[in-house]
Amino acid sequence: MKKLLLTLIVTASTMGFAAAQDLGQVTELYNAAAALLSEDKKVEALAQFEQALEAANALGAEGAEVANNCKGIIPDLYLSIAKGFANENNLPKAIELFTKTAELAKNYGKDAVAAEAESLIANLKNTQLLANANALLNAKQFAEAAAAYKEITDMDPTNGVAFLRQGMALSNSGSFDEAITCLEKAQELFAEDAPNLDMAKKQLSNAFLRKANVAFKAKNWKDALEFAQKSAENNANNPSAQKIIGNAASQLKQNKVAAEAFEAYLALSPNAKDKVQTMYQLGTALAAIGDNAKACGYFKEIAQDEKFGEAARYQLTVLKCN
State the 10-residue block means of pLDDT for the chain, 322 residues long: 38 41 88 94 95 94 94 96 93 92 95 95 87 95 96 92 96 96 96 93 96 97 98 95 98 98 97 96 97 96 96 96 86
Give the pLDDT of residue 187.
95
Q: How far apart are CA 210 and CA 238, in angstroms?
A: 12
Q: What is the H or E stretch that residue 1 is in?
A: none
> Long-range CB contacts (< 8 A, 24+ apart) of 103-108?
104/74, 104/75, 104/78, 105/75, 105/79, 108/71, 108/72, 108/74, 108/75
- pTM of structure: 0.71
Q: Strands of 19-142 (E only): list them.
A: none
Give the pLDDT of residue 122.
86
Give the pLDDT of residue 206.
96
Give the pLDDT of residue 102.
95
Give the pLDDT of residue 21.
52
Q: Which of 289, 304, 299, 302 is nearest to 322 (CA)?
A: 299
Q: 88 — phi, psi (to 5°)? A: -85, 5
Count CB-CB contacts under 10 A for residue 275: 16
